[in-house]
Amino acid sequence: MSTPSQSRTWAEPFKIKVIEHVRIPSQQEREAAIREAGYNTFLLRSDEVYIDLLTDSGTTAMSDRQWAAMMIGDEAYAGSRSFYRLEAAVQEWYGYKYVVPTHQGRGAENLLSKTMIKPGDIVPGNMYFTTTRLHQELAGGTFTDIIIPEAHDPASLHPFKGNVDLAKLESVILEFGPDKIPYVSLAATVNLAGGQPISLENVRAVRELTNKYGIKVILDAARIVENAYFIQQREPGCQSRTIASIVKEMCSYTDGCTMSAKKDPLVNIGGFLAVNDHAIYEEAANLAVIYEGLHTYGGMAGRDMEALATGIEESLHEDHIRARVGQILYLGKKLIDAGIPIVQPIGGHGVFLDARAFLPHIPQEQYPAQALAAALYLDSGVRSMERGIVSAGRNKNGEENKPKLELVRLTIPRRVYTQAHMDVVAESVQIVYSHRDTIRCLKMIHEPKYLRFFQARFEPLG
């Protein structure tokens, strides 16, 4: 099928066969719900939400082909045919040799961290991610940020804000020594930078540098297809390449990946660890029987593995990824035109509001992004997610990490909402912006030990 010219209007490459009703909760219901939820959008019930932009994780609408594939799932405990189909899909589309299925991304992070990290190790990465860093720390490692400085500036228009600062990476290697670095952790795209991509040229350069010191590179591939789309659109020499070939080339510069299949691979649950080194595979496959299930199902049902194998292939369709990212660009451009401060360039899986610029009267220690997410819900029933100081948690000394980026993420599920939903969201953000001075600071009244953003509770100050 010929691809329409990039200058023409796009439309979703599907039509809708099944719908799920949604309801707008009343103002009174929303006030009660957010109070009950301790001003944390993670603690709302989904029935209390109108448009759910909490996350793009596991919220995908599956295709008729995926649902059909589920019917032929093989539920054998051991050696399921569906596992071998998934393994073949990973080998074909990403190019890795060995696959350990897991229940989701953090299952793979756990296996990887336990297999590769020793106490005292340093793990350089292009910005932290919550679950990834926690597993590195639980294994005794310390995360070190090696992303380019532009990534921490919401206004920088650098086309590849996910890039690794190569000089910084080399100085970390020289400071600690290659033996202390089990691998470089490379995310594509970078979630907490605002869904920002890494360039192919940069991944290649990371490979060359790590080869020099004998260090492995492990990719967080959850949003690699969105990253490949930005490479195709922005990187010189890549315009006529297929998304599939860019994805495969990116993977080829790495030694393995962790995958949360709940993102780009278009399923509601699942993940895997894929590696090229047989010894690492053997150790991880052995740990899988403790933490996940057998090494040929890893916490997934046979039908889940079928849906995933089909989803991997569908995620690489050019018309799918163009419409997927196109929907986010549509919402982002509307907000930019209305003068709303957002992270630019617009990211691959969501639009990120710059809460510092939105609410300059709320100091970071009083949780501006958390307050903004609650205010947006109160206005319209749109659910978003805090990605700032609450998500960043505490350092080893117990002090709050204070990230430069204090963001609210409007995350777009794949193939779920229409452009009209995006219009409703944009209108609500503008209304909240018009009365931003009235939004109050928050105080944290309950703080869980791990990944506090999921379950923390707050109350308004003053």
CB of 102 to ligand PM9, least distance (A): 9
Cis omega before residue 142 (within 30°)? no
Of the ranges 127-135, 137-145, 279-287, 353-361, which one interacts with ligand PM9 (CB under 6 A)? 127-135
Q: Binding residue for ligand PM9 (CB under 6 A) from 85, 135, 161, 262?
A: 262
Is residue 222 within the footprint of ligand PM9 (CB under 6 A)? yes
Collect all residues with Cβ–Cβ distance below 8 Å to 196 and sequence separation of at least 6.
Answer: 151, 160, 161, 162, 189, 190, 343, 345, 347, 348
Closer to ligand PM9 by CB, 187 or 412: give it.
187
Residue 255 Cβ, how far from ligand PM9 at the closest point, in Å?
A: 17
H or E element: which one contains 143?
strand 142-145
Window 175-194: contact mask with ligand PM9 (x via CB under 6 A) = ------------x---x---
Residue with tokens 């399923």: 267
Instruction: List beta partners, residue 99.
Output: 274
Closest distance to ligand PM9 from the beta carbon of 55 (Å): 3
What x/- string results for residues 139 through 178 when contact with ligand PM9 is judged by CB under 6 A?
Answer: ----------------------------------------
- Of these, 41, 110, 113, 130, which contacts ligand PM9 (CB under 6 A)? 130
Please tell me whether residue 428 binds ligand PM9 under the rule CB under 6 A. Answer: no
Q: Which stretch, 18-26, 74-82, 102-110, 246-254, contacts ligand PM9 (CB under 6 A)?
A: 102-110
- The residue whose Cβ lies closest to ligand PM9 is 105
In the complex, the smallest distance separating the C-beta of residue 28 from ligand PM9, rounded to whole angstroms, is: 29
Cα-atom radius of gyration of the chain, to the nearest Å? Answer: 21
Size of the site for ligand PM9 (CB under 6 A): 16
Work out how close the CB of 236 gets to ligand PM9 at its nearest, in angstroms, rounded to a whole number: 27
Residue 449 burial class via C-beta count within 10 angstroms: exposed 0-12, middle 13-18, buried 19 and up:
exposed
Min dist. Cβ of residue 3 to ligand PM9 (A): 28
d(CA 35, CA 378): 10
Is 351 an interacting residue with respect to ligand PM9 (CB under 6 A)?
A: no
DSSP 164-200: B-HHHHHHHHHHH-GGG--EEEEESSBGGGTSB---H
Which residues partner with 371 through β-bridges?
A: none
Taking CB under 6 A as the criterion, the residue among 101, 105, 182, 332 binding ligand PM9 is 105
Q: Can you give the three-state secondary structure of 10-67, one letter per residue?
A: CCCCCCCCCCCCCCCCCHHHHHHHHHHCCCCHHHCCHHHCCEECCCCCCCCCCCHHHH
Q: What residues numbered 51-70 form the site for ligand PM9, per CB under 6 A? A: 55, 57
DSSP reduced 3-state for 228: helix
Judged by beta carbon, residue 224 or residue 442, the one nearer ligand PM9 is 224
Closer residue to ligand PM9, CB minimum distance, 161 or 262: 262
Select 173 or 315, whichever has its Cβ closest to ligand PM9. Answer: 315
Per rule CB under 6 A, is residue 370 in the interface with ligand PM9? no
Stretch that binds ligand PM9, among 4-12, 130-138, 287-295, 372-380 (CB under 6 A): 130-138
Tokens of 305: 């593995």
Pairing of strands 216-220, 183-187: parallel
| Residue among 85, 106, 133, 356 that touches ligand PM9 (CB under 6 A) | 106
The verdict on 260 binding ligand PM9 (CB under 6 A) reads yes
Distance (Å) of CA 194 to CA 151, 247, 330, 343, 344: 9, 20, 16, 6, 8
In angstroms, rounded to a whole number, what is the distance separating the alpha carbons of residues 256 and 306? 22
The residue count of the chain comes to: 462
Active site positions, annotated: 77, 129-130, 220, 263, 387, 453
Instruction: List residues binding ligand PM9 (CB under 6 A).
Output: 55, 57, 104-106, 129-132, 187, 191, 220, 222, 260, 262, 271
